Structure 1
Amino acid sequence: MNATDLYPRKPGETGGLPPALTPAPAPKKKSTVFVKELSERDRYRILKHFLALKESDRLLRFGTYLPDEMITKYVEGIDFSRDKVFGVVNSHFKVVGVGHLAFAPREKLEHGVEATEKDRVAEFGVSVSDSARGKGVGSRLFKRGAIHCRNADVDTLYMHCLSSNQTMIHIAKKAHMEIHREYGEADAYLKLLPADAASMLKEAVQEQVATLDYTIKANKRAAVKWLESLPGMKSDD
């Protein structure tokens, strides 16, 4: 006896189990997202990432539309010795996600300044390329920024965005941040726990793994470019 004996086919059916008994397709497995701290050597790749953002995405990221000239000025002004910039690179060694963690005096907070006694707070901004959306890149960048703040003795993480920026609002709500909305803009605050041995180890391991992933992709890209330079050789990568 087989399935067709128990569930005879109707005229016109080609066979197989009834829809109710057909196994559901296996869910697609999300690729692992590695977040690495970027440096001066990555400035050009960061610039290319921002210049590739659409007008609407630039508006959401910066709160106003920035032309290419202003984007270039912003990237050129990033101080890697003061701020922290985290990034995600794809298999083609292109930056597809950037998280900028900027430190500022606590007086910058308009709401909740009394929540911290530390001398400084951290402001976080994130952008993700079209090709990398829906993969948890923004959330992973935020988590990396948050754990770095803990380990840098900063207990308040702050995000400012337009109220229409649903991606940032989603990240803020997911992290249980306190959100204040006013005049079409939103400020979100997250109180962080003090650093401990586990948080220190976690960040160190994440950076080591991400550095290995970054190095492999960089070497692969270098090999592809070398092959493309050979006469008669061309790669689709």
Structure 2
Amino acid sequence: MNPDLFQNPLRRWGKLKDGKRRPTVLVKELRERDRRRMLRHFLDLEDSDRLLRFGSVLPDEQITHYVNRIAFSRDMVFGVYNRVFRLVAVGHLAFAPRDESKSAVTVKERVAEFGVSVSRSARGLGIGSKLFERAAIHCRNNDVDTLYMHCLSSNKTMMHIAKKAGMEIHRDYGEADAYLKLPPANPASMLQEALDEQFAVLDYTLKANRRAAVKWLGRLIGRK
């Protein structure tokens, strides 16, 4: 397991890479009010991206059905908004009861499966990894010790995330299953998740208010 997944978020955000400061990636829990923007994000994915995210090129109707069926009371959905308040990445953490095939891996009552998509304009910033980190810490803090990912073997982004996290990967007939065993929660993991969400909510509020102000000024100028 990669220890960087669970380090202090303030220290992580201050890291430098290649002498340059990378843009801060703040991951926020998505709720019912974000469903419309989630749908827009998925519908904007190109066919090749839909194939990698869903395992097949889903038509718009099936994507709409998928988004409408997401149960926020059961699953967790995380997202990243860019500076113009556009949802550019979505990570879906789906929980399910442990079945017989998972009995050898965990004794917990639930397991979790993670899927992620990042808009083309936001790639190369480590957003997918940040979403995975947030999903992993949430699992830890909610008594889930096994996190799964299922994807096509050709999905280089997901394979990179899995290898970086130290996940055990099994490939079969062009598909790959990966799982990560998570340590139990502790005060540090609880604090980390709370801080991550508080910073993300503050960022979300500032961007939403700025967007509302720009719209208001636009309407005001339009009346003159």
Fold shared per TM-score above 0.5? yes
Q: How many residues are treated as equivalent by the alignment? A: 207
Superimposed CA distance per residue, residues 18-58 of structure 1 (whole angstroms, 9 cap, x where no aligned partner) = xxxxxxxx744210000000100000011110011000000
Q: CA deviation at 1:226?
A: 1.3
Secondary structure, aligned partner of 2:222: coil
Residue in 1 that maps onto 2:164? 174
1:74 is the counterpart of 2:71: no
Q: Which residue of 2 aligns with 1:210?
A: 200
Q: Hey, what's the Cα distance between the residues in 2 that align with 1:27 and 1:53?
A: 32
Name the residue aligned to 1:86. Answer: 78
Taking the aligned partners of 1:136 and 1:77, their CA distance within structure 2 comes to 28
- Residue 88 of structure 2 corresponds to 96
Residue identity in the other structure for 1:148: H
Q: Partner residue of 2:143? A: 153
Which structure is higher in RCO with an 8 Å CA cutoff and minimum separation 6?
Answer: 2
In structure 2, stretches of 5+ residues that fail to align are 1-17
Separation of aligned partners in 1, 2:162 and 2:59: 27
| Aligned twin of 1:34 | 26
SS in 2 for 1:230: helix
Alignment of 1:110-121 (within 5 A): 110=101, 113-121=103-111
Distance in 2 separating the partners of 1:28 and 1:56: 31
* Residue of 107, 111, 122 corresponding to 2:112: 122
The code of the aligned residue for 1:159 comes to M
What is the alpha-carbon distance in structure 2 between the residues aligned to residue 67 and residue 228 of structure 1? 36
> Greater share of helix residues, 1 or 2?
2
With the length of structure 2 as denominator, give the TM-score of the two structures: 0.89
Structure 1 consecutive aligned stretches of length 4 or more whose deviation exceeds 2 Å: 26-29, 230-233
CA deviation after TM superposition for structure 1 residue 231, in Å: 4.2
Structure-2 separation of matches of 1:180 and 1:221: 45
RMSD: 1.5
Amino acid at match of 2:68: E
2:194 & 2:119 partners in 1: Cα distance? Answer: 26
Tell me the equivalent position of 2:8: none
Please list the CA deviations of residues 114-145 of structure 1 after superposition, one character each: whole Å capped at 9, or x if unmatched. Answer: 12100110000000001110001000000000
SS of equivalent residue, structure 1 residue 127: strand
Aligned partners of 1:149 and 1:33: how far apart in 2? 20
Instruction: Write the distance in 2 (CA, Å) between the matches of 1:79 and 1:228.
Output: 36
TM-score (norm 1): 0.84
Measured in 2, the distance between the counterparts of 1:199 and 1:32 equals 20
Q: Percent identity?
A: 70
Amino acid at match of 2:153: S
